[in-house]
Amino acid sequence: MERSLNRAVDTDAEGSRAETTGESAERDSSAPVEWRDISTEQPATDGTASSAAEPTVADEAAVTNRIQSRSGPSLTIETDMLTATLVGVPKVSVADLVYTHHRDAVAEPGAARYCAMFDVENTSDAPIHWLSRRTAFIGSDGYTYDRAHITLDSAELAPGCHTNQVVIEPRCRARVVAPVEQLPQGVDVAKVVHTVPANSDQPAHRLVYTL
């Protein structure tokens, strides 16, 4: 199976299309990718002017915007069905993800979780059903971990960002966030695996991102 990886931030950067056989389209990377911990970073509030390349405080009001602008390089996989970019898997403060009245119940003060964000484009002629429960995370200890079962505050997410599931129409795009369950101390996310169900045009695809 041919494997290739487009590590450019832009999803339309040059990259080869996957060869698919049977039920999976799989990619891997030859070098590790490390995303920043943005759980303790706050947008500047001292009134100083930012450069044209830096996002403003208003632009970064949504945690998904901070993931996109601050987490580092993205990883893109292309198949005959879709183009799926893993924008990042940085650590994010739980307080930035959940409703205020849920914070004490779901985590200790100051707690952070890894949070994956995908930007998915349906390049096929049939709808694609993206389900967050089909995303798995492989830890640096070799164990498989699930997404965190917490209710996300939609006000903290950018418009058009989904958390559990979304049907992506042909030639359309969607953003999806999936926080990771609490990992053991010293364990990081080493690999992200997502399985896209088959549609009327294509078989199921297995997307593998090695960090």
Tell whether the model's pLDDT for residue 115 goes beyond 90: yes
> Residues 39, 44, 49, CA angle at the centre, nearest 5°?
150
The architecture of the domain spanning 63-210 is Sandwich (2.60)
Least confident among 48-62, 84-98, 189-203: 48-62
Residue 201 CB-half CA count within 13 A: 14
- What backbone torsions phi and psi does residue 78 show, to the nearest 5 degrees? -115, 135
Tell me the sheet residues that pair with 168: 128
Is the model more confident about 96 or about 119?
A: 119
Would the pTM of this model clear 0.75, i.e. be above it?
A: no
Q: Are 6 and 78 in contact (CB under 8 A)?
A: yes
pLDDT of residue 128: 95
Tell whether the model's pLDDT for residue 53 goes beyond 80: no
Is the model more confident about 106 or about 39?
A: 106
Beta strands in the chain (DSSP E): 75-78, 82-88, 91-93, 112-122, 128-131, 135-139, 144-145, 161-162, 165-168, 173-179, 189-196, 205-210
Domain parsing of the chain, residue ranges: 63-210
Q: What average pLDDT does the segment 98-108 reach?
A: 71
- Calpha distance 162→69 (Å, rounded): 18
